[in-house]
Structure 1
């Protein structure tokens, strides 16, 4: 068996491959930000090479890297997640190095968690996440009352906000922007820094069309696994990448990946100059249920003041782009208007 690790950095991704003795089994490789497809092709090539020699390949990420496992799983790679308690400390900015991720699986494959298309990056940790969210209810309510968190705020006016996470991600971001342009509908894009760094043209197009651009971290980590300094760096680097593309000081709204939070994480966010944005409507388009299912789920769940969560990044989002006209036409037919998140009526 061969073991690969995929790490993220301030400029892109790194891949390392080890054999069963923990020795390098292939040259290390680096990929620029936004080159998830190139990472996928590189690993598939290694998988074919090792298969000819009768060896299989497993690939390991950590919980601070939520932007590659979906595409790699769908490509047919065996993906695993190594959690902080089986890894060495992370650097100041970046995941655990790729070789250390691979080494965790070399030491004990049972210590890392198998991922799948249907499970998402946090496979096996859903109960923990739910418990952390439940423990955060009081802190979140205080933030809502102070106007520092937007979520589940119904209003009398029939207006909703379309939001798209995890991009920019060509060509799907462009297809979604085409649909929004066609209907003259504003939206809010919660962008990942690693993608914002790579796809400036998409950010420029969002800004030119009047869409809101917001922060979704640099690498899509599970926030409870970060220190305060790591969280601040994730937000600041992403703000800088967006500001470099479209000007200004960067976003003032932030969506936590997976909605992950603890009372401590919320207290850190409350200290920063940002408003946390969650969601009310989730059609689970990331799981690729089909365009009709996405449209139907949005229309069934929508209500005045709703924040609708969809995705333009994280893999193939053709179903989301295909579903979007039906979502818009269905809501317009029910008398709804559309607003950016910062334009939603607040109680």
Structure 2
């Protein structure tokens, strides 16, 4: 069995599916995030090919043991309870990136997740493209969601381990990306530490993406997962999946594939500085 730690969570995808149709091409590959806007223009490209773990590089030319870190966007959904059961049954740890508006709709699901050892991150209030926002609007989207997350931890009686943030669609704001990351750093947000160039980012992206919002077919999703894992080149892979829009059955199947993939599974917070 793969080594792993806590339980985890999921999210809703009805809105994700609709948004992705409106913005085709978003989150195009597992090696980089490509956010395509309308009229074939690109607002942002975020390259995370240099995510590595110290001590895991294959200096002898052999492929290193891969560790998968599950992150789940657009939480919490109405079916998160069942998805938490799937994570707990497989003992798969995960990190949920939550929209503030969804926390208002399903606060009890988020509270259960925290009590089960699942971590919550900030995914803005309404899932906008950051490149469409002013700095003031970005602050409002972030801080409004922060207040909801703090309430969840207070209700759960759990100390929040870290402040984590992910840009919807991987859109970091384009020309305002530097300003938005400054906003995050000033407010104490922390990103993964295992990048071999530049400073630690204040936000979380991903490195392995199966574009689950594009299909409800189990066989197709399984083929995408196997191809993504086969093509992965890093020793550590930050996996992207969604709660919203995915049925509990599809989510449970994906968690099972992760568990059976002959790879290590670890808590995403292990990637923090």
TM over 0.5: yes
SS of 1:218's equivalent?
coil
Alpha-carbon distance between aligned partners in 2 of 1:286 and 1:69, rounded to the nearest angstrom: 7
| CA 1:326–1:168: 2 relative to 1, 3 Å | same
Partner of residue 5, structure 2: none
**Is the 1:285–1:294 contact (alpha carbons within 8 Å) kept by the matching residues of 2?**
yes
Partner of residue 293, structure 1: 220
Which residue, 231, 247, 251 being the options, matches 1:317? 247
Partner of residue 337, structure 1: 264
| CA 1:316–1:325: 2 relative to 1, 3 Å | closer
Q: Does 1:206 align with 2:118?
A: no
**Is the 1:177–1:206 contact (alpha carbons within 8 Å) kept by the matching residues of 2?**
yes
* Higher RCO by CA contacts (8 Å cutoff, separation 6 or greater): 2
Q: Does 1:181 align with 2:88?
A: yes
Partner of residue 92, structure 1: none
Alpha-carbon distance between aligned partners in 2 of 1:326 and 1:231, rounded to the nearest angstrom: 36
Q: Does 1:258 align with 2:188?
A: no
Q: Does 1:282 align with 2:193?
A: no
Which residue, 252, 269, 277 being the options, matches 2:181? 269
Partner of residue 14, structure 1: none
| CA 1:296–1:126: 2 relative to 1, 3 Å | same
- CA offset at residue 199 of structure 1? 1.0
| CA 1:225–1:319: 2 relative to 1, 3 Å | farther
SS of 2:75's equivalent?
coil
| CA 1:214–1:152: 2 relative to 1, 3 Å | farther
SS of 1:132's equivalent?
strand
Aligned length: 218
Q: Does 1:153 align with 2:51?
A: yes
Aligned CA-pair RMSD: 3.0
Q: Does 1:120 align with 2:47?
A: no
What is the TM-score normalised by the length of structure 1? 0.56
Equivalence map 1:1-347=2 (5 Å)? 68=15, 70=17, 120-123=21-24, 126=36, 131-134=42-45, 152-155=50-53, 156=56, 158-171=66-79, 173-247=80-154, 248=159, 252-261=163-172, 262-272=174-184, 273-274=188-189, 275-302=202-229, 303=232, 304-313=235-244, 315-318=245-248, 320-331=250-261, 334=262, 336-344=263-271
Alpha-carbon distance between aligned partners in 1 of 2:149 and 2:102, rounded to the nearest angstrom: 10
What is the TM-score normalised by the length of structure 2? 0.69
Give 4+ residue runs of structure 1 displaced > 4 Å after superposition: 127-130, 248-251
SS of 2:209's equivalent?
coil
Which structure: larger Rg?
Answer: 1
